[in-house]
Structure 1
Amino acid sequence: MPSPSIGVFALQGDVREHLRVLNDLGVDAVRVRRPEELARCDALVLPGGESTTMYKLARTFELFEPLVDRIRSGMPTFGTCAGMIMMADRLEDAAEGQETLGGLDITVRRNAFGRQVDSFEGELDFDGLGDPVHAVFIRAPWVEDLGEGVEPLATIPAGEAAGRIVAVRQGSLMATSFHPEVGGDDRIHRYFVDLVKQS
């Protein structure tokens, strides 16, 4: 089977880091800034960044509706941090007028762990992976509520946020509150690539 073409939303956010991990996994990883670039992709990564800026730029570059259409039609999509916010059907603490692409039947709370100074790292058990993953949280969201058919993949193990859901999967869609593209562990991206190949 040929390697899938996986696009990375490239209008804002930590694009290079995702491209590097995907390329290292032997995937045809491409930047997506225009509808015609999206049309050539089998799957998509929505990176961390600033979710309000991301949706506004997607509107400006006429990418918003094509993204919504592709996600609704079943294109495998993986969102990290702001990407999780972009994929959520519902938001808590949304900016005024903030739009999401939707697709994931979840409620997400923006900046749930606090401001930039409250960023942190920790070890998490991730469903389907043997050893814990090292998770980096930067102004991260968490999942407040899951709809039917949404599977939690990871939760915060201890502390004030213990039990909070920080990774989910719904069919060919998945999202994490944290940034698996930093730190040199490619297993979550590998998990997504396997998901794409199965779709």
Structure 2
Amino acid sequence: MSLRRGFKTEANQIAAEIRGELGLSQFDPLDPWVLSKHLAIDVLPLSEMRREAPRAVTHFLGEGSNIFSAITIFHGTARLIIHNDRHSKGRQSSNIAHELSHALLQHPPMPPLTELGLRNFNKDLEDEANWLAGVLLIPEQAALKIARQRLDLAEAASQYGVSTQMVSYRLNVTAARKRVR
């Protein structure tokens, strides 16, 4: 992952500002559903779209559940996040935090598919949203606390409302365990 110069500092500042607005410390869990309300962005579980798109919903909640996490739909300046509620609660938190990160970073709307029907994917914007989502959910100081307390991944994931993969990712990218040793 190659992020533009200064982006990690910017992400830390955004996360600290958002946490302040929500009355959270660097050690408190951040609930993405609360953040979505704070940002006035509606979040809709994919399962609630069954009437509008029955085949797509059946596919993405079934055999295709691993290929759809979440998407932001735009209507003018309004945003709606549709997320895969078949995923674990921790994974849903990451999915929603990722989409909210696009909003916080003011990434422009893009059509989901190219003219050829392929996924429209901007790696730089996706990397930025991934990074900010992680910082929002487990800030660097929280990762260091997890390492200091020697919490196992499952315990830390439960405490922060995220997946074990997110905890592992944040411990790795912050080098928290190494720094605590």
TM-score bin, normalised by smaller chain = under 0.3
- TM-score, structure 2 as length reference: 0.25
Based on CA coordinates, which of the two structures has the bigger radius of gyration? Answer: 2
Instruction: Calculate the TM-score normalised by the size of structure 1.
Output: 0.24
Structure number with the bigger relative contact order (C-alpha 8 A, sep ≥ 6) is 2
Between Structure 1 and Structure 2, the one with more helix by share is: 2
